[in-house]
Amino acid sequence: MGIIETERLILRPFTHDDAPRVLDIQSRLDVIRWLSDPPFIPMPDLDEARAWIDNWNTGDIGPLNCGYAIEVRDTGVLAGTAMIVQVPYPINDERQVGWHLHPDSSGHGYATEAAVAVIDQAFVAGLDEIWCGMYPDNEASARVARRLGLVERGLVPDPWYLGYSRYFTATRDEWAKR
Ligand SMILES: CC(C)(COP(=O)(O)OP(=O)(O)OC[C@H]1O[C@@H](n2cnc3c(N)ncnc32)[C@H](O)[C@@H]1OP(=O)(O)O)[C@@H](O)C(=O)NCCC(=O)NCCS
């Protein structure tokens, strides 16, 4: 997995040096409550943070399966994570794009800028369609998806969130023309 550079960001693999910041992000209920179904279990310690990092760096990693550390170029701050993944219970067997930020890094457009880069890379690698799903009341995430130009498909049953998910997609053509 290489590094992707955007106007304001460096998307790079996580390293163990990121563990304290990863712990700070993944132990926050206001972040993790949007990422899966309950119970929401805050990351407990640095060992877990290192294991989480190792998990992103293990296996068949590439443009269609990746978790990038979003680093702010000017400050070196680790803002959050941008990913392309195939979730275990897909409502669509194409890849999902995902994003989450430390709250101190929200409100600058970093999630959107990072998502454009990982989606671009996935389509170049041959992906036909990208999707993302989120809790129906996750307004901040829906705004990212809309800002990206993904097409809103409404609410669909989603086992990942044990209920319904607000669902966005874009084919390669839709992404190119957005
Ligand atoms: C979802 C989440 C990543 C959105 O964060 P965000 O900071 O709102 O998204 P972005 O980084 O794209 O920033 C966009 C915001 O920055 C503002 N902004 C400021 N400068 C900007 C710039 N130069 N370019 C673009 N946007 C800019 C935008 O107006 C926008 O604010 P608005 O939504 O109030 O209009 C964040 O809320 C989060 O991590 N939530 C918890 C985890 C989560 O829900 N993940 C998604 C699961 S589906």
- CA 81 / ligand 1 centre spacing (Å): 12
Average pLDDT over residues 58-70: 95
Closest residue by Cα to atom 10, ligand 1, is 109
Q: What is the CATH number of the domain that holds 67?
A: 3.40.630.30
Residue 157: the pLDDT is 86
CB 6 within 8 A of CB 116: yes
Count the domains in the chain: 1
More confident residue, 77 or 87: 77
Q: Which residues line ligand 1 (CB under 6 A)?
A: 31, 34-35, 99-101, 106-112, 134, 138, 140-141, 143-144
pLDDT in tens, 5-62: 999 999 999 999 999 999 999 999 999 999 988 899 999 999 999 999 999 999 999 9
Q: Which domain holds residue 71?
A: 4-177
Which atom of ligand 1 is found nearest the CA of 106?
7
